[in-house]
């Protein structure tokens, strides 16, 4: 298992892949703030798009990808404020919910993604510290 150079704050196992998020800048090769690691090989996915800040929470999207929340403003060089969806291949999903503050918790129930954190707006709508998205329609 590769070792990070800082704290790991979010861990999710989905099949044969382990997803890590946290306040680290490197894991094996330099992969700051997030990584997708094959459980059988212990190697990270080099196609994984990295955020530019810490990842506090990771949840499966049910389709081989995942949602991440934290204290970041870009993922893979693309603007994604504090909340993003990563595709199964490690690329960034087009969903752009735009939170105006840090996301600390995520939970999926059915087709609903619940979001908790220190924010006052999600997707341009007033939402004080909690909100929800339909995972099918956004």
pLDDT tens per residue, range 40-92: 666 666 667 788 998 899 898 998 888 999 999 999 999 999 999 999 888 99
Q: What is the pLDDT of residue 121?
A: 97
Q: What is the pLDDT of residue 21?
A: 80
Using the structure block, give the residue that is written with the tokens 């060089």. Answer: 77
- How far apart CA 37 and CA 113 sit, in angstroms, is 24
Res 125 pLDDT > 60: yes
Q: How would DSSP label each residue in the chain?
A: ---BSS-EEEEEEETTEEEEEES-S-BSS--TTEEEEETTT--B-TTPPPBSSEEEEEEE-SSS-EEEEEE-SEETTEE--SEEEE-TTSPBPS----BSSEEEEEEEETTEEEEEEE-SEETTEE-SSEEEEETTT-
Using the structure block, give the residue that is written with the tokens 């995520």. Answer: 106
């Amino acid at each position: 298992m590769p070792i990070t150079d800082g704290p790991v704050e979010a861990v999710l196992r989905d099949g044969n892949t382990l997803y890590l998020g946290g306040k680290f800048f490197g894991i094996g090769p330099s992969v700051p703030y997030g990584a997708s690691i094959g459980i059988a090989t212990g190697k990270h996915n080099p196609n994984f798009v990295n955020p530019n800040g810490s990842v506090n929470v990771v949840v499966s999207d049910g389709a081989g990808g995942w949602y991440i929340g934290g204290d970041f403003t870009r993922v893979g060089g693309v603007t994604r404020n504090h909340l993003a969806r990563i595709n199964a291949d490690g690329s960034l999903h087009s969903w752009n919910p735009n939170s105006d503050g840090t996301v600390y918790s995520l939970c999926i129930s059915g087709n609903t993604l619940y979001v908790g954190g220190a924010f006052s707006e999600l997707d341009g709508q007033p939402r004080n510290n909690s909100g929800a998205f339909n995972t099918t329609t956004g």
